[in-house]
């Protein structure tokens, strides 16, 4: 192809937005992702807690882009980048040349030097993570139903969530509802309402990005749901027995990690400057220093606002960055002057705490309780990309709302446990390199 070739790596919110905003521009586009699907990450915790099915929050990338004849979708992993030759080396030995490269490769959860905790405390970033967590939560109740030892049963009915950001708060609230509202009538030997759900946050309050009164409301709402909220207690150990924080040990079979992320290896591909968690330093025009033809956006990049604060790692920010990059590319290929530096507009923060409770912080207005929850629900259904999925998600939510039944409570071997390893003490298979989702070389 002789047209200017834009290669986008990563079909998350940022990468897809770049592609969408380049519609009609005189460029050829290739989008590369190691998964075949775009994932609606803000609802991933619902897949992890059996409220939504994986296919309700993920869509094939090439289906989303099927009408764009200028876009080629490749299912592939990047192995390395040759900046001089402007070439991307993919697995299986194939090579893609670019004129402009957009790195929108996202992040994984991270353990900050405690990678040994991962088998005991899986994090939540991919569909596989979600089904792993779903399987663990459901299996803990199944185990408890069969268990005659009181102490072990108590550990099986103890769920610890590490990290009090939106993901941790949403997981804790939903697990509490599962135990309190969905499961009680189904078990004969245990009372699932006695399950302990413990949310541990190292800082002084949950939802630290929100206004303080919303944090306090969220804590109260969690406690009303029966969640124990532990603040200012960093976790010092996760293992097969449970979790250690503030000098005390809590026996727990299920520990979920919602305490931090690590960027993709994009900085290593480029041998470029990155921060502690691996995010590429981005210039004001979102290019990588010294390489005007390479952009870094979303969770793969650290972008500073004029006042020195970081642009947050949330979907709307990634989309704004994707749109900005498209505008820069458009200006370049048409010879127009470069746009002004990227400016982030913070729309607000949202988090739900179970049914009928949510907090929304728009800055100029703060909402909490039922109105916030309904607004959150409508906003998320609106933002879901597929029309059919919107309807299906709406039906599922109304069903849960009305009947407390959850539609996706499957334990399958991929969400379950692996033979020959100790219970609740194995590496989540999904935590292995996601490139497993791809097959090895055939060429």
Point out the residues that are catalytic.
Answer: 170
User: 56 near 100, Cβ under 8 Å?
Assistant: no
Question: Shortest distance, CB of residue 2 to a second copy, whole angstroms?
Answer: 16
Q: Quote the least distance from Cβ 407 to a second copy, whole Å.
A: 6
Least CB distance to a second copy at residue 437 (A): 4
- Which tokens belong to 63? 């289906």
Closest-CA residue to 201 (of 231, 156, 174, 161): 231
Query: What minimum distance in Å lies between the beta carbon of 158 and a second copy?
Result: 14
Q: Which is nearer to a second copy, 2 or 148 (CB)?
A: 148
The residue (of 49 and 389) whose beta carbon lies closer to a second copy is: 389
Q: 139 or 198: whose CB is closer to a second copy?
A: 139
- Residue 55 or residue 216: which is nearer to a second copy going by CB? 55
Contacts by 44-47, CB closer than 8 A, 24 or more apart: 44/124, 44/125, 44/127, 44/129, 44/130, 45/124, 45/130, 45/167, 45/170, 45/171, 45/174, 46/174, 47/127, 47/130, 47/131, 47/134, 47/408
Under DSSP, the state recorded for 189 is S
Nearer to a second copy, 132 or 167 (CB): 132
- Residue 345 C-beta: closest distance to a second copy, Å: 33
Residues 6+ apart with CB under 8 A from 192: 141, 157, 179, 180, 183, 184, 186
CB-based contacts of 199, cutoff 8 Å, min separation 6: 160, 161, 164, 168, 169, 172, 206, 222, 227, 228, 229, 230
Q: What distance in Å separates the CA atoms of residue 337 and residue 331, rounded to the nearest whole number?
A: 6
């Amino acid at each position: 192809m002789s047209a200017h070739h834009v290669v986008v790596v990563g079909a998350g919110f940022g990468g897809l937005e770049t592609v969408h905003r380049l519609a009609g521009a005189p460029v050829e586009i290739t989008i590369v992702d190691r998964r075949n699907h775009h994932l609606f990450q803000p609802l991933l915790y619902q897949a992890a807690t059996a409220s939504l099915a994986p296919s309700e929050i993920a869509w094939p990338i090439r289906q989303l882009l099927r009408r764009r004849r200028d876009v080629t979708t490749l299912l592939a992993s990047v192995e390395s980048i040759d900046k001089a030759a402007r070439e991307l080396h993919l697995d299986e030995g194939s090579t893609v040349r670019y004129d402009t490269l957009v790195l929108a490769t996202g992040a994984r959860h991270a353990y900050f030097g405690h990678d040994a905790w991962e088998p005991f405390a899986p994090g939540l970033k991919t569909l596989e993570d979600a089904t792993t967590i779903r399987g663990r939560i459901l299996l803990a109740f199944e185990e408890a139903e069969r268990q005659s030892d009181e102490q072990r049963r108590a550990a099986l009915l103890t769920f610890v969530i590490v990290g009090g950001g939106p993901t941790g708060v949403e997981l804790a609230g939903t697990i509490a509802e599962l135990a309190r509202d969905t499961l009680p009538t189904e078990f004969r030997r245990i009372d699932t309402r006695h399950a302990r759900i413990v949310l541990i946050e190292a800082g002084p309050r949950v939802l630290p990005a929100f206004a303080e009164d919303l944090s306090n409301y969220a804590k109260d709402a969690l406690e009303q749901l029966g969640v124990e909220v532990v603040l200012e207690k960093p976790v010092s150990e996760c293992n097969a027995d449970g979790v250690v924080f503030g000098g005390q040990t809590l026996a727990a079979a299920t520990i979920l990690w919602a305490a931090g992320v690590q960027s993709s290896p994009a900085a290593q591909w480029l041998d470029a400057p990155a921060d502690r968690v691996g995010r590429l330093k981005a210039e004001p025009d979102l290019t990588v220093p010294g390489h005007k033809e390479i952009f870094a956006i979303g969770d793969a990049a650290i972008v500073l606002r004029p006042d020195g604060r970081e642009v947050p790692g949330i979907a709307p920010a990634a989309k704004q960055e994707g749109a900005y990059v498209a505008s820069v590319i458009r200006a370049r290929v048409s010879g127009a002057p470069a746009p002004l530096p990227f400016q982030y507009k913070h729309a607000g923060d949202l988090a739900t705490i179970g049914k009928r409770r949510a907090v929304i912080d728009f800055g100029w207005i703060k909402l909490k309780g039922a109105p916030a929850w309904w607004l959150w629900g409508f906003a998320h259904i609106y933002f879901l990309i597929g029309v059919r999925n919107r309807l299906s998600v709406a039906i599922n939510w109304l069903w849960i709302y009305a009947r407390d039944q959850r539609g996706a409570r499957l334990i399958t071997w991929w969400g379950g446990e692996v033979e020959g390893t100790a219970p609740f003490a194995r590496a989540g298979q999904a935590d292995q390199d996601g490139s497993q989702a791809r097959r090895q070389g055939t060429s």
